[in-house]
């Protein structure tokens, strides 16, 4: 694994993405109170409410880093960011479907298990998509001397 230097644009994207994540957290907290499936005054946020609050954080960070740095980074790094964005979206909705199924089956998922399970799902989707991308590149490059 080779180390790459982070550009100024990537750092700006990380900062802006983190700020947007915090703004999202503040605004979505007020909106979730309206929906009784996501928030009850007796128990607070439900398992789906916590995930809707915290799940998109990586999506915002990866998206804003990609937007800020897309003109100065190489193609390999652009591909990594696109795979990261796609995997965070897919992982978010897969874990939300799991939590919805758990809610319908009346299974309680604790806060730590909820967040760590969702982040683990995003990681698994990322690793699978990255492996599929590398496999696809090898098939394309077969026969060429790269």
- Give every CB contact of residue 92 below 8 A, 6+ residues apart in sequence: 51, 55, 56, 59, 118, 122
Q: What is the mean pLDDT of each run of 10 residues along the chain (146 residues)?
A: 70 88 83 75 78 89 88 84 93 94 90 92 94 77 60
What pLDDT, on the 0 to 100 scale, is given for residue 68?
Answer: 87
What pLDDT, on the 0 to 100 scale, is given for residue 143?
Answer: 59
- For the chain, helix (H) and strand (E) counts, in that order, are 5, 2
Backbone angles phi, psi at 70, to 5 degrees: -65, -25
What pLDDT, on the 0 to 100 scale, is given for residue 10?
Answer: 82
Q: What pTM was estimated for this model as a whole?
A: 0.81
């Amino acid at each position: 694994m080779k180390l790459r230097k982070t550009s100024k644009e990537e750092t700006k994207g990380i900062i802006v993405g983190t700020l947007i994540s915090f703004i999202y957290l503040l605004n979505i907290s007020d909106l979730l109170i309206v929906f009784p499936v996501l928030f009850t005054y007796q128990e607070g946020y439900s398992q789906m409410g916590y995930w809707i609050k915290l799940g998109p954080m990586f999506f915002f960070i990866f998206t804003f880093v990609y937007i800020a740095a897309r003109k100065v980074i190489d193609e390999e790094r652009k591909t990594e960011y696109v795979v990261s964005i796609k995997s965070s979206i897919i992982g978010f909705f897969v874990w939300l479907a799991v939590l919805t199924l758990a809610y319908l089956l009346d299974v309680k998922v604790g806060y730590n298990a909820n967040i760590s399970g969702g982040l683990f799902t995003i990681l698994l989707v990322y690793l699978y998509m990255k492996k599929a991308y590398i496999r696809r590149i090898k098939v394309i490059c077969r026969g060429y001397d790269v």
